């Protein structure tokens, strides 16, 4: 019964913020207070938004209520494996099932502050990218598959912290949801 009440509350918040029944990217940023944040935070939120826009109607960029609830469920209740798969999907820009160096460098750029704090002072983004590939690219083909990504993240804590950037997303969501009117 508690879940039904929570879904009803989420629906009321969703409809109050999105009377059209569709959550647009600019509304998503507003809900999470990103208008005045850094470009990295804005880009990270856009990346998250796109990863949950499952129907991805061209030029529409909206989430419906089901996509919104699925996103919150994954972020708040998803297990490590599900969150790693989501992280991988989020950064696999071309959808080919592999991360190349440009996609990994984009991951580093998107979460620049987070990555540079977690990576040891003195490492450049290129050095961070090289270290990720050294640890994860088992067959040295210049691409990271989902299985390499998941195995690498599970066996190396430094890598887990870098690749699984959504580890504390639930805390971030809870903190920012409290800001809602």
Residue 124 has pLDDT above 50, yes or no: yes
pLDDT > 90: percent of the chain: 13
d(CA 115, CA 159): 10
Tell me the pLDDT tens digit for each residue of 51-61. 888 776 655 67
d(CA 97, CA 140): 16
Instruction: Classify residue 118 by burial, with Cβ atoms within 10 Å: 0-12, 13-18, 19+.
Output: middle
Residues whose CB is less than 8 angstroms from the CB of residue 95 and which lie 6 or more positions away in sequence, other chains included = none
- Give the pLDDT confidence score for residue 152 in this predicted structure: 87
- Give the pLDDT confidence score for residue 168 in this predicted structure: 44
Specify the residue for token string 């998803």.
78
Tell me the pLDDT tens digit for each residue of 12-50. 888 887 888 888 888 777 766 665 566 766 777 787 788
- Give the pLDDT confidence score for residue 169 in this predicted structure: 47
Question: Is the whole-model pTM more than 0.75?
Answer: no
What is the set of domains in the chain, with CATH numbers?
A: 2-77 (1.10.238.10), 80-163 (1.10.238.10)
Neighbours of 44 (CB within 10 A): 23
**Residue among 45, 141, 56 nearest 97 (CA):** 141
**Residue among 93, 103, 82, 95 nearest 150 (CA):** 82
Mean pLDDT of the chain, nearest integer = 76
Residues whose CB is less than 8 angstroms from the CB of residue 113 and which lie 6 or more positions away in sequence, other chains included = 38, 40
């Amino acid at each position: 019964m508690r879940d039904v009440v929570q879904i009803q509350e989420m629906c009321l918040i969703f409809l109050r913020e999105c009377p059209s029944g569709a959550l647009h990217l600019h509304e998503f940023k507003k809900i999470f207070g990103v208008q005045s944040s850094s470009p990295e935070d804005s880009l990270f939120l856009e990346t998250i938004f796109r990863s949950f826009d499952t129907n991805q109607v061209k030029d529409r960029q909206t989430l419906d209520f089901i996509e919104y609830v699925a996103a919150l469920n994954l972020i708040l209740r998803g297990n490590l494996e599900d969150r790693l798969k989501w992280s991988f999907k989020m950064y696999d820009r071309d959808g080919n099932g592999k991360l190349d160096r440009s996609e990994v460098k984009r991951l580093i750029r998107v979460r620049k502050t987070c990555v540079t704090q977690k990576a040891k002072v003195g490492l450049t983004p290129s050095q961070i990218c090289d270290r990720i590939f050294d640890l994860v690219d088992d067959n040295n083909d210049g691409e990271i598959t989902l299985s390499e990504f998941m195995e690498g993240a599970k066996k190396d804590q430094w890598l887990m912290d870098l690749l699984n950037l959504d580890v504390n997303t639930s805390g971030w969501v809870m903190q920012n949801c409290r800001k809602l009117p």
